[in-house]
Amino acid sequence: MSAWLAVAAGTLGSFMATLDISIVNAALPTIQGEIGASGTEGTWISTAYLVSEIVIIPLSGWLERVFGLRTFLMIAAILFTIFSVVCGLSTNLDMMIVGRVGQGFTGGAMIPTAMTIIATRLPPQQQPIGTSLFAATAILGPVLGPIIGGWITENYSWHYAFFLNVPVCAGLITLLLNGLPAGTLRLHELARADWLGIAGLAIGLGGLTVVLEEGQRELWFESTLILQLTALSAVGFLLLIAGQLLAERPVIKLSLLFDRQFGSVFVMGLVLGMVLYGTSYVIPQFLANAAGYNALQSGSVVFISGIPSLLMMPFVPILFKRLDVRLAVGFGFMMMALSCWTDTTLTIDSRGGAFTDSQLLRGVGQIMVMLFLNQSAISAVSPRDAGDASGLFNAARNLGGSVGLALIATVQDKRQYFHEQTLATSVQANGVLTQERMQQMQAGFGGAGDPVAGAIRQLYGQIQQQALVMSFNDLFVALTIGILAAMPLILFLRPLPKAVNSAAVH
């Protein structure tokens, strides 16, 4: 019983951490207005959390060795609660960013440790159930975030999106106290830690994430800030490499990436993150711009992809026993590719119902890929290295989300401009159809103002709207191609152990 209490604690902590990535997105415009932040400044409310989380995830294995699993998670949960309250009480941008950075560091620590608990506390035959719970939280967090955040903002106040974490963390701490034994402090590990690697990991991943998040808004390398952050990130990765060569025990074992199976899992994890976080961003953006949906309505559409995760959980042990990992991951990627291809025919009249089929397909694909890649990441390495493998795989998924969002912003901007120019040049001022359309629009103004100028503005607005929809179709084409490009990597996967045993993580 205590083992399952520990698993419940781990999955609850992981769910809370992934949920808080996106829960504020729905309330972001309201938060910006109340704390006096501009649109550009407000994006740091999301970016600060993501940067901190990506930095801490690979470090969690080392921190767990130093403090022990239960103590480490207790510290993370308590601090996460405190920082959540700081966010909820924020009255200015600086206070909010401090809270979000703290949330990211402490919440990110709880994501890979969920797999540690599953691998060390459950017998092999029960581990597939624990793995399915973890995979479901990793997928449901990003898709539930917008709908929960939207509902709270619409019915109460954005402050409660943060205060919600207080009772959840209280329950998490109770589960930890009853489900995990007290560990041993190994503070001597601090003296011989790979401080070069730790500093390099924080600087390198932190700088890279900010570059990806802010690059499009800052016009990439036309910006001095982006150039400086890129150089800083490069220095960070050089320090990380130095730590790999000089430290007795590097903070994280990057040599695992050269293993054929684990390297393939890492790259596929990047693609999974791109699709998971990319579609959770693109669909609400389309519905807000083309259909006028509010945050709660858009969140309801995004949530559809989480339904297959809930329905498939009881069948996970059977899937692990009966399905070859290569067939399972290949099937999952095919479903994801098909779902994205289904969304390449959007029109100006498309509404939320247009995404129902694709979201269900996407949900099936994502849970299959997540389940089997999680298991492959652990089984690809020795028990001694499984903690590093878990940290790297989870970091890959989040980093993939950052890369995906950066690419989406760039591709959409360029493709929308391209389509605007193409449509504008195809409109012939003296053409019969154009003249008829202009006359209809002028008549609609009823003599108010300058009907010709009004009709021209209206026509240009229609061109912009059509170009925007076409750019969204292009984004889904790009996601489809990205998924298909990663599929050959499934050939490097090896069958899972017969017992489906997640090697002991530490």
Nearest residue to 29 via CA among 156, 147, 150, 163 = 150
Domain boundaries, the chain: 1-193, 194-250, 255-506
- CATH, range 1-193: 1.20.1250.20
Q: Report the pLDDT value the prediction gives residue 383, as an integer from 0 to 100.
A: 67
Q: What tokens does 7 get? A: 């698993």
What the block records as the tokens of 351 is 């509404």
CB 336 within 8 A of CB 366: yes
pLDDT of 506 reads 35
Whole-angstrom CA distances from 436 to 83, 244, 403, 439, 454 are: 60, 70, 46, 5, 15
pLDDT of residue 41: 67
Q: How far apart are CA 373 and CA 263, in angstroms?
A: 11
Identity of the residue numbered 446: G
pLDDT score at 334 = 95
- Alpha-carbon span 232 to 216, nearest angstrom: 18
The pTM for the full model equals: 0.78
pLDDT tens, the chain, 506 aa long? 677 787 777 778 878 887 887 777 667 777 877 888 766 666 677 777 877 888 888 887 778 778 887 888 888 889 999 999 999 898 888 898 899 889 988 888 887 777 777 766 777 677 777 777 777 777 777 778 777 887 887 788 888 888 988 888 888 888 878 777 777 777 777 777 788 888 888 888 888 878 877 777 777 888 888 899 899 999 988 988 888 888 777 877 788 888 888 889 999 999 998 888 888 778 888 888 888 887 778 778 888 888 887 788 777 778 877 888 899 999 999 999 999 999 999 988 888 889 999 999 998 998 889 888 887 877 777 767 766 777 788 788 878 887 887 788 788 888 888 888 887 776 665 665 666 666 666 566 655 556 656 666 666 667 778 888 899 999 999 999 999 999 999 998 888 765 544 433 33
Residue type, 53: E
Cβ atoms of residues 333 and 486 within 8 Å: yes
Residue 297's H or E segment, with its range, is: helix 295-303
Q: Give ∠ CA 147-275-207 in degrees, rounded to 5.
A: 95
Triad 335, 147, 276: Cα angle to 5°: 30
DSSP 3-state of 217: coil
C-alpha closest to that of 76 among 38, 46, 109: 109
Q: Do domains 1-193 and 255-506 have the same CATH topology?
A: yes
Residue 494, Cβ neighbours under 10 Å: how many? 12
For residue 460, give Cα distances in angstroms to 418, 430, 449, 469.
14, 16, 18, 14
Residues 147/302, Cβ–Cβ less than 8 Å: yes
DSSP state of 496: P
Three-state DSSP class for residue 103: helix
The sign of the CA dihedral 230, 236, 240, 246 is: positive
Backbone angles phi, psi at 168, to 5 degrees: -65, -45
Model pLDDT, residue 436: 64
Query: One-letter amino acid identity for 120?
Result: T
d(CA 385, CA 381): 6
- Please state, in angstroms and rounded to a whole number, the distance separating the CA atoms of residues 394 and 318: 25
CA angle (441, 444, 450) in 5-degree steps: 80
Instruction: State the Cα–Cα distance between residues 42 and 45, nearest whole angstrom.
Output: 6
- Residue 123 is predicted with a pLDDT of 72
Q: Which structure tokens are listed for 196?
A: 């070069």
Residue-level pLDDT at 498: 59
CATH ID of 255-506, from 3.40.50.720, 2.60.40.1930, 1.20.1250.20, 3.40.50.300: 1.20.1250.20
Reading the block at residue 298, the tokens are 């858009």
- Report d(CA 13, CA 179) in Å as an integer: 14
The residues near 470 (Cβ < 8 Å, ≥ 6 apart) are 415, 416, 419
Instruction: Look up residue 50 and give its amino acid.
Output: L
What gap in Å lies between CA 58 and CA 201, rounded to an integer?
8
**Amino acid present at 461:** G
